[in-house]
Amino acid sequence: SVYDYGYAGTSAAAPHVGGALALLNQEAPDAPPGAIRNALESSATGVDDSSVSPPPNTKIGHGYINVQAAANVLDGELDLSGEGTEANPYEISTVTELQRITNARGAHYELTSDIDASATEGWNNSKGFDPIGTRQDSNWPFTGSFDGNGHTISDITINRSEESNVGVFGFIAEDGRVTNVTVTGANVSGSDNVGVLVGSQAGEAKIDSVVVSGNLSGVNNVGGLVGYQLDGSVSNSQGAV
């Protein structure tokens, strides 16, 4: 909520959050509190405000509540095994499931097998895979965790030459983590901030134990692992493009 003196924080947000909780509890009466919280946080949308860092932060929290999106998460819209928590992450075994991460960018995920992503060449009118997280027009970063468990994602296509922040993960920020995965045979194209794994990285986002290879093209800020690193860390990783 916004008043003449700026953002008002938790006291202004409480009635809205309370109303959202009531609706979600009615929709999914058997859902535990932790599942409802995860659904709200992971489906919230960012605030287009250059004066604040990407969510979550102490000024705007996780962003705008999207009750329908949260209800979709609770109703199994992701259709994934697991709960999306650190203790019990969502399980990913196909490229279609990989794309569903876009619907809950603050949740936790793990690969349970290698993924053949060659089908993405024909997705979205040949634009291919839709990057997870974006900085286009608003801050909607991936802020959860993705553990590849040593598995490989092969032959993914992302053909978005007129878009910025392009990669398997378009934008990761805050406590977002991508670890223990190999991406091979990738074909990735974009405009600015283009990487095979991550287009833009910010906050305390971490990349660790990742290997990428493939074909990569862009205009400005183009890198094998990460196109544009505002902040964050990369360790024990390498790229060959």
Tokens of 41: 């946080």
Rg value, the chain, Cα: 18
For residue 56, pLDDT beyond 70: no
In the predicted structure, residue 127 carries a pLDDT above the cut 80? yes
Rounded-to-integer distance, Cα 97 and Cα 126, Å = 19
| pLDDT mean over 63-77 | 75
Residue 185 banded pLDDT, cuts 50, 70, 90: very high
Query: Is residue 44 scored above 90 in pLDDT?
Result: no
What is the arithmetic mean of pLDDT over 92-101? 94
User: What is the per-residue pLDDT across 74-92, written as a single tens digit (0 to 9) for each?
Assistant: 765 567 889 889 999 999 9
Q: What is the pLDDT of residue 78?
A: 66
Structure tokens belonging to residue 225: 């692992």
CA 67 to the chain's CA centroid: 19
Q: How confident is the model at residue 21 (pLDDT cuts 50, 70, 90)?
A: confident
pTM for the full predicted model? 0.73
Give the pLDDT of residue 180: 98
> What contacts 132, CB < 8 A, 6 or more positions away?
99, 101, 102, 105, 142, 168, 169, 170
pLDDT for the residue numbered 159: 97
**Per-residue pLDDT at 16:** 80
Top mean pLDDT of 6-10, 27-31, 122-126, 155-159 is at 155-159
How large is the angle between the packed helices 33-43 and 10-27, nearest 10 degrees? Answer: 120
Residue environment code for 156-172, b if the CB has 16+ CB neighbours within 10 A, otherwise e: bbbbbeebbbbbbbbbb
What is the CB-side half-sphere exposure of residue 175 using CA atoms within 13 A?
10
pLDDT score at 55: 55
Angle at 232 between CA 78 and CA 207, to 5 degrees: 55
Residues with Cβ within 8 Å of 79's Cβ and at least 6 positions away in sequence, in order, are 97, 100
Using the predicted structure, report yes or no on whether residue 176 has a pLDDT greater than 90.
yes
Residue 144 confidence (pLDDT) above 70: yes
Output the average pLDDT for the chain.
Answer: 85
In this structure, of 19-28, 62-71, 82-91, 173-182, the range with the lowest mean pLDDT score is: 62-71
Contact between 160 and 128 under an 8 Å Cβ cutoff? The reply is yes
98 near 115, Cβ under 8 Å?
yes
pLDDT average, residue stretch 173-195? 97
Element containing residue 97 per DSSP (H, E) = helix 95-99
